[in-house]
Structure 1
Amino acid sequence: MPYIWLIIGLLGAIWVFWDTRKQGYTFESSLRWAMGTLLVPAVVIPFYILQANLIKKLKRYNKRTEPQDVTSEMYQRCPRCGEFYRGNLEKCPHCHKSILED
């Protein structure tokens, strides 16, 4: 029975080491995670999976995106002819008069 825990710990340590290296951890940090997994696999493997998922979610949440032009998707009314048009235009597509002039 103790050999089963040793095999599970060894396989878990190899997987954790490989996964941490793939995610960009330093060699020393990967080695620490692998050693912890080898010594206490029942505690370290679930903890590692939880923290890896949290880091992935934080990276997704913190991604900076460029501001989007939402006016290009909105319908607007021409102040000259009253027709609706879509986009952020300088001239009305219906009456062909400048929208920006007062």
Structure 2
Amino acid sequence: MEILIGWVALCFAVAAWAHSKGRFAFGWFIISLMLSPLVGGVIVAALPKVGKAALPRDEAGQPITDQTHVRCPDCRELVRRDARKCKHCNTALVPQ
């Protein structure tokens, strides 16, 4: 009985990991339940992130999009849209 509980718990872990990569968690739970959590985990590890999980993120963990960030006119680094000064080169930015 303990082995079955451990098996299902590891399947939930694989599903949570797949969900964090933007994948369908229930599907990966079923795949790892049928095959094995080890096989499911190896496959999930090999898969790239998709959707919103694949977007690059800033220091605060927020996704970087055209609505939230702009490029500095001097150094071309990404800075937050509401910034007054570039954090990389200290150039004054024009509000947009």
Sort the TM-score into its range (normalised by shorter chain): 0.3 to 0.5
Larger radius of gyration: 1
Give the helix-richer structure, 1 or 2.
Answer: 1
- TM-score normalised by structure 2 residue count: 0.44
TM-score of the aligned structures, taking structure 1 as reference length: 0.42
